[in-house]
Structure 1
Amino acid sequence: MMRKLDEVMSGKGWDTRRKILEELYMRPTTAYSLAKKLELNYSTVRYHLDLLERSGLVNHQKRGSRQVYVATKNVEVLKII
């Protein structure tokens, strides 16, 4: 996981991923809502959410017909935000 985490936290996409994590840490939400709030393309948000999920920083839960994303405790433990 550390190698993946290093990859996720480096590079030009980190600022976007950090913003997503900050939003999810405050309140679980959908990819669509994140895209709207952060003024990003939906596919861009989904790309970053997939990376964050593979690295163990985000999980998704099905609520009705929606996929809701939530920051995991790893964000707090690792003091990422």
Structure 2
Amino acid sequence: METALWYMLAGARGGPNRIRIVRALRERPRNANQLAEDLGLDYTTIRYHLDVLMDHDVVRNSGGGYGTVYLLTDRIERNWTTVESVIDTLEDA
């Protein structure tokens, strides 16, 4: 899990946006449109990053269709200290 987090959040070009999405979802579950509005990003950009995060078991969805809500997986919640470590390392760089 740690290697995957480092890749998704630090090693990939979209890492900074994924960090913003993960932090926002930690505050509260949201749908893709809410994330786009709250983070000032294009809806398609949010959808792309949500798909990547879902593929790596960082987020999951609840419901279906346009109002699908996204939230962090239990696995990422259990590994939140690793997420914070990655974020802290990037912010200190």
TM-score range (shorter-chain normalised) is 0.7 to 0.9
TM-score, normalised on structure 1?
0.84
Gaps of 5+ in 2: 85-93
Q: State the alpha-carbon separation in 1 of the partners of residues 20 and 74 from structure 2.
A: 17
- Provide the residue aligned with 1:42 in structure 2: 43
Amino acid at match of 1:69: Y
Gaps of 5+ in 1: none
- Provide the residue aligned with 1:60 in structure 2: 61
- Provide the residue aligned with 1:8 in structure 2: 8
Q: State the alpha-carbon separation in 2 of the partners of residues 8 and 49 from structure 1.
A: 11
Number of residue pairs aligned between Structure 1 and Structure 2: 81
Q: Runs of 4+ in structure 1 displaced over 6 angstroms? A: none
Q: State the alpha-carbon separation in 2 of the partners of residues 32 and 61 from structure 1.
A: 15
Secondary structure, aligned partner of 1:34: helix
- Which has the larger helix fraction? 2
Please state if 1:51 is matched with 2:52: yes
Please state if 1:23 is matched with 2:41: no
Larger deviation: 11-20 or 56-65? 56-65
- The Cα of 1:75 is off from its aligned counterpart by 2.2
